[in-house]
Amino acid sequence: MAWTILAVLPIFVFLAFFRASVTSWMLAIMVIVPVVAIQLRISDIALQAVYSVLFLFVVLFGVPWLRRNIISGTILKIFRKILPQISATEQEAINAGTVWWDGDLFSGRPDWRKLLAFPKPSLSAAEQAFLDHEVEQLCAMLDDWDITHRRADLPPEVWQFIKDKGFFGMIIPKRYGGLEFSAQAHSAVVCKIASRSGTAAVTVMVPNSLGPAELLLHYGTDEQKEKYLHRLATGQEVPCFALTGPFAGSDAGAIPDYGEVCYGKFEGRQNVLGVRLTWEKRYITLAPVATLLGLAFKLYDPERILGGEVNRGITLALIPTSLPGVQTGRRHFPLNSAFLNGTTQGEGVFVPMDFIIGGTPYIGQGWRMLMECLAAGRSISLPASSAGGMKLAARTSGAYCRVRKQFHLPIGKFEGVEEPLAHIGAYTYMIDAARQLTALAVDLGEKPSVISAIVKYHATERGRVVINDAMDVHGGKGICLGPDNYLGRAYQQAPITITVEGANILTRSMIIFGQGAIRCHPYVLKEIAAAHDQDHQRALHQFDDALFGHISFALSNAARSFVFGLTNGRGIAAPPGDETRRYYQQLTRFSTAFALGADVAMAILGGSLKRREKISARLGDVLSMLYLCSATLKRFEDDGRPVEDLPLLHWAMQDALHKIQQAFDGVIQNFPGTLVRWMLSALIFPLGMRLSPPADHLDHQIATLLMQPGAARDRLTAGIYLPADEQDAVGALESALVSTLLCEPLQAELEKAHKTGKLSALEELPRIAEARDKGIISAEQALQLERDYALRRKVIMVDDFAADELRAGR
């Protein structure tokens, strides 16, 4: 019996692996079942029963009309019952945006050639010139200590520069006076500014992200575009966008703010058709200075003036803040950040109908509009600002760990310090790759909703890890705030990026897999569409197609997962390259296992998956790692496969693959039902979990790479602002690194001379002078050593203040 099953199993695995058609399965079953029955020498009666069941099976599955009406029809009824209740706002969020490379990752068969064929991210000459001139100039004007500690605002000349040079109009077309930059350029600008000042980066980011300009471009009427876009591009209008309020945060669809359709008086005109608005919003970035308020509210038409429903749904309007009744409130103080953030309220503010973005056709479309625009904005702003901060942390941490010595050694040479340096280097490498790939998707016309959630979540989470590690390796230097502290503010402000544009816990637990499972899955959306179709026959046809496609897909993923688990991915087709082939193979293996896990989770948990957030989060982690790894491999290929970058690539990939294994482990261990747990474990890890985290030698290689000037370090931190001025803390650190490496042989010579009694001075500067006077070093070398001492001192020292300078209300 066992041998017979063992002989037959490979045939089924083969059929499933290659996604055999229903006909092939039927033929195979029609041959195998009788052969097995005869082999087992069962009685004639039992054999007849087997033939009868087989006949029934063939008729039920082989005759399409019967299959549709009996098999698919029954499953459709059950499916309709277990389909999770999705609110209209959730449905609109799910539908928003497009599916891109995430679709491949969900398919279990990512086409790596397709990924590598996407163009290499690049900037136009004009965009590069803007980065090299205007952005460089802006960064040079920014003194983050002055901004965050003394003024709690950007200086007036910086505000003016930002407006005059078009920073607020990066997404606005040239015909409206904007810069019309690509997403790649927009991302590069924010990334560079963020490496200098978080406050300035947020100030530039917000008008170019989800807000009046973006909404007008997509949905505005021609009159609205003409009226506002030019003024927004040139900074004559400062925009903000107000969705969040005290009683609606993550659940933004629950906003209590409302507008009622009515006739009112506006600018001297009587009986104007419009909306009377009441709102209370908080946390609104740029609200304290905004002249144009984008407002989300629920529209009601109690007197049915417009005809139709009373409750018209979430609607968006543009409100000039100069209108009577608009109260620009007090400022919030978000973790010592000085970007302007605060409250706005309005009570009974009357605006004409044409203040609604897009006019009356867009009444009630607000949530969809927001969700569609969120994908593009979230793909760019926060990944870019996180990457800017991470690059700065990588560059300065490497340099500091080489310049700063303890126990007669640069601190970065201690194994304990190598570990955080490895996180800093590899995470920065990976997140910058994801930043660029996602901006590329936007430039290719995508609105990648699931990917935007992945990249927002992981860029900000890893940004937080990197800044924490950077703080640790800097010791007290990172802790003491002041003009020379280039990390402290980024450390304080890390939670802001975690919370905004979809708070991270929610994004990981609900959005990434929750939305991905429906949007990116090759069959689920079709099944849901069929379930909602009121036309019974059409629904049955659609559902039958999707269901059997889905079954064949799931069987194939189970078989492939098992086979790939046995071979650890070996033998899977992969793009050429000895260093990367195994990574592509393992990613394909895990993409297949992910597709299997996703199907099992949806099939077993059904509607309750929405509440099983930890399972959803871990599956989301797998999808996220698959995406981050894809971006990392593409980056390596696009950069021309530089060997110096290999430690970064290896560390990032091995860490992410190990995290995939951990995430699967978490899913399997916590899945309800012993049998399902056992089955998932056997199919995904038939030989056990064999991946290890990156080895210690990679930590060492990354630490070495970060601690010396070189092409890999420059590539890793490309695009940040690097002041040449040695009076600047970062500028001094850059010079100190070069100088340290240059002067170490001379310092060793002086040390030797001191030990042998040729030099008697105890302190460094007198000893340099003594060595010069005694001819041990030349005058030029003495100057070099004196400069090195000054630079090191500047790097090592921290700011101090007179007691009353720090007193509140100074």
Site residues, ligand FAD (CB under 6 A):
240-244, 249-250, 283-285, 334, 341, 496, 499-500, 503, 505-506, 509-510, 613
In degrees rounded to 5, what are phi and psi of residue 692? -110, 160
For tokens 């802790």, what's the residue? Answer: 479
Using CA atoms, how far apart are residues 649 and 448, in angstroms rounded to an integer? 25
How far apart are CB 283 and ligand FAD at their closest, in Å? 4
How far apart are CB 136 and ligand FAD at their closest, in Å? 27
Q: Which is nearer to ligand FAD, 613 or 786 (CB)?
A: 613
Q: Which is nearer to ligand FAD, 50 or 506 (CB)?
A: 506
Bridge partners, residue 241, by sequence: 294
Q: Which is nearer to ligand FAD, 507 or 630 (CB)?
A: 507
Q: Which is nearer to ligand FAD, 298 or 767 (CB)?
A: 298
Q: If you write DSSP's letter for every residue of 223-260 in order, what string do you get?
A: HHHHHHHHHHHTTSS-EEEE--BTTBSS-GGG---EEE
Using CA atoms, how far apart are residues 257 and 247, in angstroms rounded to an integer? 10
Contact 179, 131 (CB under 8 A): no
How far apart are CB 210 and ligand FAD at their closest, in Å? 8
Contact 274, 290 (CB under 8 A): no
How far apart are CB 641 and ligand FAD at their closest, in Å? 39
The type of residue at 89 is T
CA distances from 345 to 241, 360, 737 (A): 13, 24, 52
Using CA atoms, how far apart are residues 377 and 500, in angstroms rounded to an integer? 12
- Out of 134, 237, 501, 770, pick the active-site residue: 501
Angle at 266 between CA 260 and CA 271, to 5 degrees: 70
Using CA atoms, how far apart are residues 557 and 589, in angstroms rounded to an integer? 10
How far apart are CB 448 and ligand FAD at their closest, in Å? 20
How far apart are CB 244 and ligand FAD at their closest, in Å? 3
Q: Which of 23, 105, 56 is nearest to 548 (CA)?
A: 23
In degrees rounded to 5, what are phi and psi of residue 282? -140, 170
Q: Which is nearer to ligand FAD, 370 or 706 (CB)?
A: 370
For residue 351, the surrounding DSSP H or E stretch is: strand 341-352
Bridge partners, residue 476, by sequence: none
How far apart are CB 495 and ligand FAD at their closest, in Å? 8
Coil/strand/helix, residue 344:
strand
Collect all residues with Cβ–Cβ distance below 8 Å to 11 and sequence separation of at least 6. 28, 32
Pairing of strands 326-331, 239-242: unpaired
Q: How many CB atoms lie within 10 A of CB 290?
A: 28
Contact 361, 221 (CB under 8 A): no
Closest residue by beta carbon to ligand FAD: 249
The separation between the first and the last C-alpha atoms of the chain, rounded to the nearest angstrom, is 88
HEC sequence for 618-639: HHHHHHHHHHHHHHHHHHHHHC
Using CA atoms, how far apart are residues 80 and 607, in angstroms rounded to an integer? 10
Give the tokens for residue 790: 């000054």
Q: Which is nearer to ligand FAD, 285 or 632 (CB)?
A: 285
Using CA atoms, how far apart are residues 301 and 684, in angstroms rounded to an integer? 55
Q: Which is nearer to ligand FAD, 402 or 612 (CB)?
A: 612
Q: Which is nearer to ligand FAD, 162 or 707 (CB)?
A: 162
Contact 786, 772 (CB under 8 A): no
How far apart are CB 385 and ligand FAD at their closest, in Å? 12
223 is annotated as an active-site residue: no
How far apart are CB 151 and ligand FAD at their closest, in Å? 18
* CB < 8 Å & 24+ apart, contacts of 528-537: 528/83, 530/76, 531/76, 531/79, 531/80, 531/83
Q: Which is nearer to ligand FAD, 341 or 624 (CB)?
A: 341
Q: Which is nearer to ligand FAD, 250 or 568 (CB)?
A: 250
For residue 450, the surrounding DSSP H or E stretch is: helix 449-474
How far apart are CB 157 and ligand FAD at their closest, in Å? 25
Q: Which is nearer to ligand FAD, 96 or 496 (CB)?
A: 496
How far apart are CB 387 and ligand FAD at their closest, in Å? 19
Give the residue numbers marked as catalytic.
Answer: 501
